[in-house]
Structure 1
Amino acid sequence: MRYRIAADSDAPHYLAIDAYLDNVTTPAVELQLPAWRPGRYELQHFAKHIQRFGVVDETGQPLPFRKIARDRWRVETNGASALTVRYNYYANVINAGSSFVDEGLLYVNPVNLCLYADGRLDEACTLELDVPADWPVACGLRQLAPGVLWARDYYELVDCPVVASPFMQQISYEVLGVSFHVWVQGGLRADGAEPFDSGRIQRHFSRFSQKQIELYGEFPEKDYHFLTIVLPTPFYHGVEHRNSTMLVLGPVDEGEGLYQDLLGVSSHELFHAWNIIRIRPAELLPYDFTKENYFSTCFVAEGVTTYYGDLMLRRSDVFTDAAYLKELQVLFKRHFETNGRAVQSLVESSWDLWLDGYEKGVPDRKVSVYFKGAIAALILDLHIRRQTNHARSLDDVMRRMWEQFGKPFVGYTLDDYRAVTEAVAGESLDWYYDLCIFGNQPLETKLNDYLAWVSLRIEYDESHTIHLLETGDEAGLLQRARWFGTPLTEEPHEGAVPEENLERT
């Protein structure tokens, strides 16, 4: 299909979309708008944002259609060999999974508003943006001409958000043959200065990008784009995509706090370029955009990624030891003080993302696949390291997952993940899966067992506030340095983010 997107001249904050379908050979065509988007495992019913809808043939004559589901239309072609679908979409919300238009910004997540013809998901697509010629266009898709983007199929199209604006800060760097681009829209300061220091971003982003590529041995794409919108109000949201990530952050006047947010979410989302974009649960291959795609391994997709996001900032010396440990304490607080006694297991909460995973929900029911999932990943990593004296680790698990499932892009099951972890550990991990993955028992005791090995422990004070403490054990400090991948006495790189800059977290 071919799509043309413009601001609707008749309705503020609406996008006008023309979708062209050629080579029509059937008496009827069914058109589908996605009910959800990758990276957010809940039904979102994007069709509710469509105000008007119509279909014409190649001569401009209207074709009869009717809605047959909440986001599906059946069009009678009446012998037409091509048709055009004309509709608009309300785009007045800015988050990392939405679309927005005003006089200074066109921001599109194609999955929100690009419908497809049933049975033709594998055909190439073009997307034309009606924006001024001098507006930079930031997107991971190939650009055929200014404002004209090309995707090899619908799956690629809807996995590549687009930002176009008269002003965008662009910061580029290259690591191990891969080109990276950081695009920042908004956030200009009162004195007209750009929101972020370009040199600092190049230094820090280069370091954690290189560490992540070194872990896997290669990068899945030739280039990668960090698309960032900075708002004047507090905000923190990121979504992973095929060769890009969409980030929405704020407020602009937070200064160092805003930069800290940018580092944290960027490292997390970059790790997704392997883990979920390519190392993907079998239940999500291919995506079915019409309904829920239930799967039980989101603790791998999000928990492992949450664990590595901050750890990579430490390994690359973007964070100091103290800065990383403060982030680790925040992780512990988010799980243990909020839902450390919840009834559901990680597997159950992974499945129920489609039910209420992004809402607070009833007390003590579900756990966060992000927070408990990261703690489970930490326990597994330290267990393998302790058993093998650091000869193997969770790094080896993820490398094998990449080689066996991500690189060939075949999808994995829970049993596959368990088999890989046990092969790397060289032993049965029944205790780990019974306690951390399938169970709902408290994890403090087991976690402290492994934290003690790296000279750390957690404990509660009288108000049931959890604290991460250092024990000062010299042998544990050596193990911690090996965990972080740094010599025990190494000084942090110039410009590393110190502990005092993490208070906002």
Structure 2
Amino acid sequence: MNYKISYKEPDTKYLHIEATFSNISQKLLKVNLPAWRPGRYEIQNFAKNIRNVSCKALNGEDLSIKKVKKDIWQVKTEGHSEIIIHYQFYADIQNAGGSYVEPNFLYLNPINFCMYLENQQNEPCELNIDFAANTDIATGMSFQKKGNTSTFTCNSFHDLVDSPIMISSAIQHKTYMCQGYKFHIWVKGKIEIPWDKVLLDFEKFTSEQIDVFGEFPVKEYHFMLWMMSKPYYHGVEHHNSTMMTLGPDAQNFDEIYVDILGLASHELFHTWNVKKIRPKELLPYDYSKENYFETCFVAEGLTTFYGDWILYRSGVFNKEQYQKELETTLKRHFEASNKASQSLLNSSFDLWLDGYEKGVPDRKVSVYHKGAIAALILHHLIQQNSDNKNGLDDLMRELWINYGKPFKGYSYRDYQNISKKFIGKNASNYFKDIIAGNQSIKNQTKAALESLNFQFVEESKDTISLAYLKPYSD
């Protein structure tokens, strides 16, 4: 499966796409477009941004193509073994998971617009892009550039759609080495960056994360940051990169730097947790429909907890900065969802239903916020069971060795069994009360915070229950 992208009408934001499919034997060929993207577990219906679909044989003969479902087309191949589908995609989505074009900047997530054949997803793919401002290119893919044209190659469709691309005439780029691995930082936007400090801080939290697992999953990694003119905060994990969108770019660097660090640390941790240590229900990804799984509280909750904790442990955050971030997580859960009827397990499964919306009152919990608190409690229980000899790091290494490195996927039962190994007799109550229960976990949280040398303090103000932290005296 090969693709050609061009931008012929600057005022319309429509990309022109040619998708070529070879080695076809079917008389009636079904061609799919992804309905969702990894990292965002909700149906997004990318087909709503596509228009003017047509199909030709390699010799130029017109072939019949008809939409048979919202994101599936059927082609009458008339005996041809190679076809080309032409269509346009509207690229005007300014977030970390979308695609966007303007005369001097092109940002692409191939998952948004690359049609595919189900039986060819594991075969090599090529993406050819013709863009006038083809000067600087940020991506985790291999590519060759010639004039305005760049050719990107991938081992499979899965790799292609897991590799965002930024192309511009103005992208800042720096690199650093950490424990033998190479890391890139790419920044698009009007912002002055104190690179010496940034590179030092990034190396610190990167090294701390590698120490947790003992190795890094890929040889090179790319932090891609798009600084927007509007307020924004969004990041998406990929197998050897992350795309982050933050703003506004007009603010002082120090004001937005905490957000940059928090987002970068969170997304880097995903390189292990979810991109490799992956729920078995997501192996392989099925882009055509919902991929339900109960363990998103592991994928996102543990990552949320680790993102800020790593910054604190590595010395990038001081105690006050970490306290503020942890306090925010606690407040978002206890002030909004302490009385929710759903458990973490239920809300993980229902993420596809309304996980990214506010939702109706007192129904769901956040897999990010309550999931992070559940990780904190788990760390505390592991320490209790081992006389402080072990902690959450030991559990993460076990997950990596048994499920991430061999890339075989874990089940909820697998996660329970590994947790039981580290917390012993407390395992049944932990999963019954914290993961599968819907009662307040305030008391367990108060006890767990002591393992980080913080104290939970609750005050009343009007009708709102406030939860915040105060560090013990040193």
Fold in common (TM above 0.5): yes
Q: Residues 384 and 425 of structure 1 are in contact (CA less than 8 Å); yes or no, is this contact kept in structure 2?
A: yes
> Deviations 1:181-223 (Å, cap 9, x if unpaired)?
01001124xxxxxx32211111000010111111101111010
Deviation at 1:134, TM superposition (A): 5.0
Instruction: Give the residue type in structure 2 aligned to 1:162.
Output: I
3-state SS, counterpart of residue 12 of structure 1: coil
1:260-279, aligned counterparts within 5 Å?
A: 260-279=258-277
> Deviations 1:427-483 (Å, cap 9, x if unpaired)?
4511111111000111111111222454422222221222212343xxxx6xxxxxx
Distance 1:249 1:211 in 2: 24
Q: Residues 235 and 251 of structure 1 are in contact (CA less than 8 Å); yes or no, is this contact kept in structure 2?
A: yes
Deviation at 1:128, TM superposition (A): 1.0
Deviation at 1:312, TM superposition (A): 0.6
Instruction: Give the residue type in structure 2 aligned to 1:467.
Output: Y
Instruction: Give the residue type in structure 1 aligned to 2:124.
Output: A
Q: Residues 280 and 411 of structure 1 are in contact (CA less than 8 Å); yes or no, is this contact kept in structure 2?
A: yes
Partner of 1:161: 164
Partner of 1:501: none
Deviation at 1:25, TM superposition (A): 2.3
Partner of 1:365: 363
> Deviations 1:139-195 (Å, cap 9, x if unpaired)?
10111445211110000000000000000000110111111001001124xxxxxx3
3-state SS, counterpart of residue 196 of structure 1: coil
Partner of 1:19: 19
Distance 2:262 2:193 in 1: 15
Partner of 1:201: 198
Deviation at 1:388, TM superposition (A): 1.4
1:178 aligns with 2:181: yes
Partner of 1:226: 223
Q: Residues 392 and 425 of structure 1 are in contact (CA less than 8 Å); yes or no, is this contact kept in structure 2?
A: no
Distance 1:86 1:158 in 2: 19
Partner of 2:353: 355
Instruction: Give the residue type in structure 2 aligned to 1:434.
Output: K
3-state SS, counterpart of residue 348 of structure 1: helix
Deviation at 1:52, TM superposition (A): 1.1
Q: Residues 444 and 458 of structure 1 are in contact (CA less than 8 Å); yes or no, is this contact kept in structure 2?
A: no
Q: Residues 185 and 228 of structure 1 are in contact (CA less than 8 Å); yes or no, is this contact kept in structure 2?
A: yes
Distance 2:10 2:101 in 1: 13
Between 45-54 and 8-17, report the one with greater CA deviation. Answer: 8-17
- Choose from 305, 322, 340 the match for 1:342: 340
- Choose from 372, 378, 384 the match for 2:376: 378
- Choose from 405, 424, 427 the match for 2:403: 405
Q: Residues 29 and 118 of structure 1 are in contact (CA less than 8 Å); yes or no, is this contact kept in structure 2?
A: no
Partner of 1:296: 294
1:75 aligns with 2:75: yes
3-state SS, counterpart of residue 123 of structure 2: coil
Partner of 2:420: 422
In the TM superposition, structure 1's runs of 4+ consecutive aligned residues that sit over 4 Å from their partners are: none
Distance 2:112 2:272 in 1: 24
Q: Structure 1 pair 387/309, CA: closer, same or farther in 2 (3 Å)? A: same
Q: Residues 133 and 169 of structure 2 are in contact (CA less than 8 Å); yes or no, is this contact kept in structure 1?
A: no
Q: Structure 1 pair 342/369, CA: closer, same or farther in 2 (3 Å)? A: same
Deviation at 1:81, TM superposition (A): 2.0
Distance 2:236 2:221 in 1: 14
Distance 2:125 2:10 in 1: 27
1:65 aligns with 2:65: yes
3-state SS, counterpart of residue 259 of structure 1: helix
Distance 1:349 1:264 in 2: 24
Among all aligned residue pairs of Structure 1 and Structure 2, give the percentage whose two residues are the same amino acid: 43
Instruction: Give the residue type in structure 2 aligned to 1:23.
Output: N
Q: Residues 18 and 84 of structure 1 are in contact (CA less than 8 Å); yes or no, is this contact kept in structure 2?
A: yes
Q: Residues 196 and 259 of structure 1 are in contact (CA less than 8 Å); yes or no, is this contact kept in structure 2?
A: no
Partner of 1:390: 388
> Deviations 1:259-301 (Å, cap 9, x if unpaired)?
1111000000000000000100011111111110000000000
CA RMSD after TM alignment? 1.3
Distance 2:48 2:425 in 1: 51
Instruction: Give the residue type in structure 2 aligned to 1:45.
Output: N
Instruction: Give the residue type in structure 1 aligned to 2:356.
Output: Y
For structure 1, the 5+ residue unaligned runs are 189-194, 478-505
Distance 1:133 1:25 in 2: 39
1:228-243, aligned counterparts within 5 Å?
A: 228-243=225-240
Partner of 1:252: 249
Distance 2:193 2:294 in 1: 39
Partner of 1:105: 105
3-state SS, counterpart of residue 62 of structure 2: coil
Partner of 2:466: 465
Deviation at 1:16, TM superposition (A): 0.8
Partner of 1:307: 305
Q: Residues 134 and 167 of structure 2 are in contact (CA less than 8 Å); yes or no, is this contact kept in structure 1?
A: no
Q: Structure 1 pair 454/359, CA: closer, same or farther in 2 (3 Å)? A: closer
- How many residues matched? 467
1:444 aligns with 2:442: yes
Distance 2:457 2:167 in 1: 49
> Deviations 1:328-358 (Å, cap 9, x if unpaired)?
1111111101111111000000011100000
Instruction: Give the residue type in structure 2 aligned to 1:248.
Output: T
Q: Residues 143 and 150 of structure 1 are in contact (CA less than 8 Å); yes or no, is this contact kept in structure 2?
A: yes
Distance 1:10 1:16 in 2: 11
